[in-house]
Structure 1
Amino acid sequence: MTNVRDQIAAIMDQRQLTGRYAELVKQAVADPSVQAWLTAHKDELADDAVTRGAAKIYEYVTARDGKGEDQALPNSGYMPQLVVSNRLIDIMYEPTPAKIAAAQVAHQASLITSVNMPKAIRTAALEDYDRTGRAAALLAATRFTDAMDEAPQAFHRGLYLTGPFGVGKTYLLGAIANHLADRGIASTMVHFPSFALEIKNAINDHTTEDKLDRLKKVPVLMLDDIGAESYSAWMRDEVLGVLLQYRMQEELPTLFTSNKTMAELTDFLSGKEAGKDLEEVRARRIMARIRFLADEIHVGGQDRRNGPR
């Protein structure tokens, strides 16, 4: 684009003006699309607009057809458009439909923050979700997305998807996230065991609070595989507890997946499963926050890790 302008500026220097250039300008002005534009805007243009705008017309045709130094222009995502400016001819460069579509795709992708999540969620879609044995889960997901569509700023109870390995819990979260992104709603998906390890490692560089704060405030949070690994009391109370307390108080939509039912997760967090000292009160506090934030939904069916989603 700049190269074309520089080229034209040089050509317009009287010392370099040649008969060949005059012929090229004449051809540009005679271009059918240029003539059509001039006819459509004749009442808006000054009497000498074509003479004074000859260089602009030449630039337009050259850039449009990729015949100047910047021959990649038609493929760059921008194309020239003739416009009227102060009754004279000028040019503006506008993004092509393909460029706009690509930008929309990029923007949609930017609305989903994925931390240690499988690649399959990138293309997950509710319409592709196999209902066999999972109709209730799909219905709950659809109701949640419908509610978010109608009132994205309001609080909507999320889902606590529970079921065995491989039945499509994580995929369903991804499908929900992609649906929300289509509506311009941002979400963050986090594999919680990996996040717990990241938080633990961040103690040494004193960044745990920053990492936790970023997660606390996201518009829609999805915690995948909660309860998959044992937590220390600090991780349970000062990380998970603080995170869920904030989201409960601020009424921010939160979703979960787990291989444990809520009752099983209560025992897990209290230490019953591992035979540790009971800490039921603290565990029940965590569960009270989860129950406030989400409805428990069982996801059934067969293991689909190597088959249909």
Structure 2
Amino acid sequence: MEDVGKELNRIIKSRGVDGRYRQMMEEVLADKDVRDFIEDHKEKLSQADIEKSFAKLYEFVQEKKKYLAGDPSMIAPGYEPQLSLNFHFIDVTYVPTDELLRLKREEEIRNRVNSLDMPKDIRKASLRNFESDSGRKEALVAAFEFVDNYEENPKSFNRGLYLVGSFGVGKTYLLGAVAHELAVKGFETTLLHFPTFAGEMKQAISNDKVGPKLDEVKRSPILMIDDIGADSMSAWIRDEVLGVILQHRMQEQLPTFFSSNFNMDQLEKHLSVTQRGDEEPLKAQRIMERIRYLSKEIFVAGENRRNG
């Protein structure tokens, strides 16, 4: 092809078209990206090739304007229009921007954390933002160790953590931070607030959804049970819900985390008394045997950050 500028002017003048169409062509062919593309591919493009590609060239110029202006009405928001050559035909392709790729990655990470009745901000928790003062350093170190060990060998048995401490010291946040760190590395986690989950399980009896809800939780690749022992439990919740979950996870050696205001010995006493006041120490002992098998008890101390 000859000089691009002369050739483009010839295209415009050679068309017996009305003023509006001519104006559109002039706008398209005056675009620097269009002119550069045609110049770079001049050996493969004829005048006829450019003319038959005009609709795509016009689309490119209009969508590029919207892209640069951040106009959400563009054909593919978040994608940058680029020209491409498709066997003597100029086409428009839409390439995802770095920002879109970042947002998609963040969404994929969030979707790997199945949060059941947990605070929304827990999904944004980060181990890097967890303050490691003297009362919380051991827990943070153990959290990093778990993530590293699980990433290295996810098929082996990795004991979870049993985080015990008073209100507001960051137990729930640390669970969320571990879940987020695992999600970044491609692993799925389920976090659930146990008192709320227990209430939902009781309601599930009436619509015959106990089985599916129980299976979803007990089979989770990594499970984090928050606030266990916060409320008194019925014998059914203790034995047929919590007990079933823990038994399955112990048999399958699935990583399981807990947070509680009770240490393990205190939780055992708590579980030994049902809502009706019945004392059943042996059943509580069975539950605790599974918890002790699945997790390592770590104390978390510090000030109540909820009041900060």
Identify the TM-score tier after normalising by the shorter chain.
Answer: 0.7 to 0.9
Distance 1:88 1:292 in 2: 66
Mean Cα deviation higher: 44-53 or 214-223:
44-53
Q: Aligned AA for 1:196?
A: A
Report how far residue 55 of structure 1 moved. 2.1
Q: Aligned AA for 2:137?
A: A
- Closer, same or farther in 2 for the Cα pair 1:178/1:232, shift >3 Å? same
Report how far residue 99 of structure 1 moved. 2.6
Distance 1:147 1:39 in 2: 55
TM-score, length-scaled by structure 2: 0.84
Which residues in structure 2 correspond to 1:117-196 (within 5 Å)? 117-132=118-133, 133-196=135-198
Report how far residue 111 of structure 1 moved. 1.8
CA contact (8 A) 2:233 2:274 kept: no
| Residue aligning to 2:35 | 35
- Closer, same or farther in 2 for the Cα pair 1:239/1:75, shift >3 Å? same
| Residue aligning to 2:291 | 290
CA contact (8 A) 1:162 1:257 kept: yes
Which of 240, 249, 254 does residue 252 from structure 1 map onto?
A: 254
Report how far residue 53 of structure 1 moved. 1.3
Distance 2:290 2:297 in 1: 13
- Closer, same or farther in 2 for the Cα pair 1:178/1:234, shift >3 Å? same
Q: Which string of whole-angstrom CA distances, capped at 9 and with x for unpartnered residues, describes residues 216-262 of structure 1?
A: 12221110011122212221111111111111222221110011111
Q: Which string of whole-angstrom CA distances, capped at 9 and with x for unpartnered residues, describes residues 264-302 of structure 1?
A: 22222223999743332x222222221221111111122
Q: Aligned AA for 1:156?
A: N
Distance 2:72 2:239 in 1: 61
Which residues in structure 2 correspond to 1:37-52 (within 5 Å)? 37-42=37-42, 45=45, 48-52=48-52
| Residue aligning to 1:228 | 230
> Secondary structure of 1:252's partner?
coil
CA contact (8 A) 1:111 1:184 kept: yes
Mean Cα deviation higher: 122-131 or 201-210:
122-131
- Closer, same or farther in 2 for the Cα pair 1:22/1:71, shift >3 Å? farther
Distance 1:173 1:71 in 2: 37
**What 5-or-longer segments of structure 2 have no aligned partner?**
1-15
| Residue aligning to 2:92 | 91
Distance 2:307 2:43 in 1: 67
**What 5-or-longer segments of structure 1 have no aligned partner?**
1-15
- Closer, same or farther in 2 for the Cα pair 1:65/1:192, shift >3 Å? same
> Secondary structure of 1:73's partner?
coil
Q: Which string of whole-angstrom CA distances, capped at 9 and with x for unpartnered residues, describes residues 88-143 of structure 1?
A: 21122333333332222222222222222224423321112122211101111111
Which residues in structure 2 correspond to 1:266-305 (within 5 Å)? 266-271=268-273, 276-280=278-282, 282-305=283-306
- Closer, same or farther in 2 for the Cα pair 1:275/1:91, shift >3 Å? closer
| Residue aligning to 1:306 | 307
Distance 1:71 1:108 in 2: 25
| Residue aligning to 2:24 | 24
